A and B are shown apart, each in its own frame.
Chain A
Amino acid sequence: MRIFMNLCKDKLAIASLVFIAVLITAGLFAPVFAPHNPEEVNMSLRYAGPSWEYILGNDHLGRCILSRIIYGIRPSVLWVFAALFISVLIGSILGFLAGYFRGKNDAFIMKLCDVLLSFPGYVMALALVGLLGVGLENILIAFILIKWAWFARVIRTSVMQYAELDYIKFAKASGISHGKIIWKHIVPVTFSDIAVISSSSMGTMILQISGFSFLGLGVQAPQAEWGMMLNEAREVMFTRPELMLAPGLAIVLVVMALNFLSDSLQVALDPRLLNSNKGNQVMAPVSKIKIQEKEVPN
């Protein structure tokens, strides 16, 4: 509750949160929000500019861009988000096991991660899609299978930093259970690291999905997806650059909102950062002293 209150003080965080909430609702109820059928071809409206009926204009087949953007939320945001969530979850569980308990678990999990990470990600995904068949679901499955290893590694490192600290040692000595220690002491302090790495890989994942769609391995042609829309617009990049605007902006805005949100969450969670104004004042003289010390020997 305190965290939510802190978050509310941050206007950017509220804006990002509202934006993401609206996006998710629009994506879930796309048929309600979209003004037109996203796959309805209307050749007489080819490359038409914005109008009251088609707010964002029409694409090279005369389809409503706004409707395509709204329908595109599902594959581009919701499904990517689900895949990201699952891979972060797997990565977190294994990362916590490895970083907290160490020993044999750790060695085994890290060897597994090393093996997975030694393959180039794209090639692995291609191979898996080759095995499983073409389609968005299979690309997402391939992503989950590849990405968790990276998350596990990063989270393990983060957990290890904290697992040796004195307050964890105290909790262990007092006989508090491992589960409780992990949940109460390690999850909160590592959460901001996890939020930051997941929000930054969300952007890459959206772009990668569209890359695969471009290769014809992901979302299939008439269906709307932001990366696909970008690729379609790419063909007329020099004659009609405005077509890139809507899907490009959509991707940028989502990634930005997620990054802002994860940053604000980090601040809201950590009491040391919360009154950072106070902290800065305290810190300032320290750095001055350091500079002076450096200057003295010379």
Chain B
Amino acid sequence: MLIVNSVEKSYKTGGLFSKKTQKILKGVSFDCQRGESLGIIGESGSGKSTLGRLIVGIEKPEAGTVLFEQKNIADRSVRLGNISAVFQDYKSSINPFYTVEKAIMETLILQNKSRKEMQAKMDQLLIQVGLDTSYKTNYPHELSGGEVQRVCIARAIAAEPKCILFDEAISSLDVSVQTQVLDLLKELKQIYNISYIFITHDIQAAAYICDRVIIFRDGQIEETADVHQLRHVRSAYAKKLLGAIIPF
């Protein structure tokens, strides 16, 4: 469904006049099936977030393509209602001037429903992510981090997209809230049959929710492994990365 085909991306380094560029992504290719949940794990600075921005079409790759159902993801209309995202920083992930209701409405409106249906769906969404419907009139600064992240998830699934990108979406939450949110995501995946692309440096979280994990290093894919086969990774780097967590 989503096919990433040898994408490359580099950023300028140095001052205004320097022409030096640093290659962040060096030809990355993978695909993600409908309903699959794919983890991308790697060290800080390895280019995971950059890859994430390319996947959701916010930035364009210098070489290679990202195709969603055979169409280029850079085209806005391809993304509309099909792709969604949840980002790390819960402090800035909702417009500070928006109430929870307005924030969710932003994507809910893409479905062309009647006003009444939208209200019903809104309540349903809030209950699904474990929030009381009275939260509708709250502003983001009146919510806790976990609550904001739940609203972001509700907002992401409101348009019933086919694929959602999570970039460190649970990293800033504390451990007990993390497991709650992960359980919630698992549950939602079963209901809506959504694909997840789950960027994280937390291997345990990735192992908990993903079917397949890509181990990412220095802008390249080091290894791809089924989540049940994580013990049997071959490359030395992956072994080292996993060794800290999974006892052999």
Contacts and interface: CB of A to CB of B under 8 A. Distances in A.
13 contacts: A166-B88, A169-B87, A170-B93, A173-B56, A173-B57, A173-B58, A173-B85, A175-B76, A175-B81, A184-B95, A188-B97, A189-B96, A272-B139
B152 to A, nearest CB: 8
A188 to B, nearest CB: 5
Nearest to B139: A271
Looking at B141, B155, B161, the one whose CB has the most chain A CB atoms below 10 A away is B141
A43 interface: no
Kindly state the interface size class of chain B when it binds its partner: 35 or more
- Could you tell me the dominant secondary structure of chain A's interface residues? helix
Interface string B25-67: 0000000000000000000000000000100111000000000
Interface string A167-181: 101111111110000
A270 B152 CA distance: 21
Interface residues of A, number: 20
B233 interface: no
Interface string A147-172: 00000000000000000011101111
Contacts of B94: 167
Contacts of A175: 57, 76-83
Interface string B87-124: 11100111111000001001100100000000000000
Given A169-B85, A171-B106, 16 more contacts: A165-B89, A166-B87, A166-B92, A167-B93, A167-B94, A167-B103, A169-B53, A170-B156, A173-B79, A173-B165, A174-B159, A175-B76, A175-B81, A175-B83, A184-B95, A269-B97
A177 B110 CA distance: 12
B224 interface: no
Interface in A124-148: none
A176 B58 CA distance: 11
Given A166-B92, A271-B139, A177 B87 contact: no
A21 B99 CA distance: 32
Interface of A: 165-167, 169-177, 184-185, 188-189, 269-272
Contacts of B220: none
Looking at A167, A170, A188, the one whose CB has the most chain B CB atoms below 10 A away is A170
Contacts of A173: 56-58, 79, 83-85, 165
Contacts of A171: 106
Contacts of A169: 53, 58, 85, 87
A166 B110 CA distance: 20
A271 B155 contact: no
A65 B96 CA distance: 49
B65 to A, nearest CB: 17
A131 to B, nearest CB: 34
Contacts of A272: 96, 139, 141
Contacts of B92: 165-167
Contacts of A271: 96-97, 139, 141
Contacts of B110: 174
